[in-house]
Amino acid sequence: MTVFDTLSEYGVVPVIAIDDADQALPLADALIEGGLPVAEITFRTDAARDVIAQIAASRPQMIVGAGTVLTEAQADAAQAAGAKFALSPGIDGAVLAHAQRIGLPFAPGIMTPSELQLALRHDCPMVKFFPAMPAGGPNMLKNIAAPYAHTGIGFNPTGGVTLDNLPDWLALPQVRAVGGTWIATRADIAAGNWDQITRNAAEAVARIKDIRSKA
Set 40, 84, 209, 214: catalytic member? 40
**Residue 203 annotated as catalytic:** no
What distances in angstroms separate CA 116 from CA 15, 18, 130, 138, 164, one per listed residue? 22, 29, 12, 16, 27
Q: Is 40 a catalytic residue?
A: yes
β-partners of residue 106 are 86
Name beta bridge partners: 107: 87
Catalytic residue among 115, 128, 209, 214: 128
Burial grade of 6 (CB within 10 A; 0-12, 13-18, 19 or more): middle
- Strand, coil or helix: what is 183? coil
In terms of Cβ atoms closer than 10 Å to its own Cβ (0-12, 13-18, 19+), residue 25 is middle
DSSP calls for 11-29: -EEEEE--S-GGGHHHHHH
The catalytic residues are 40, 128
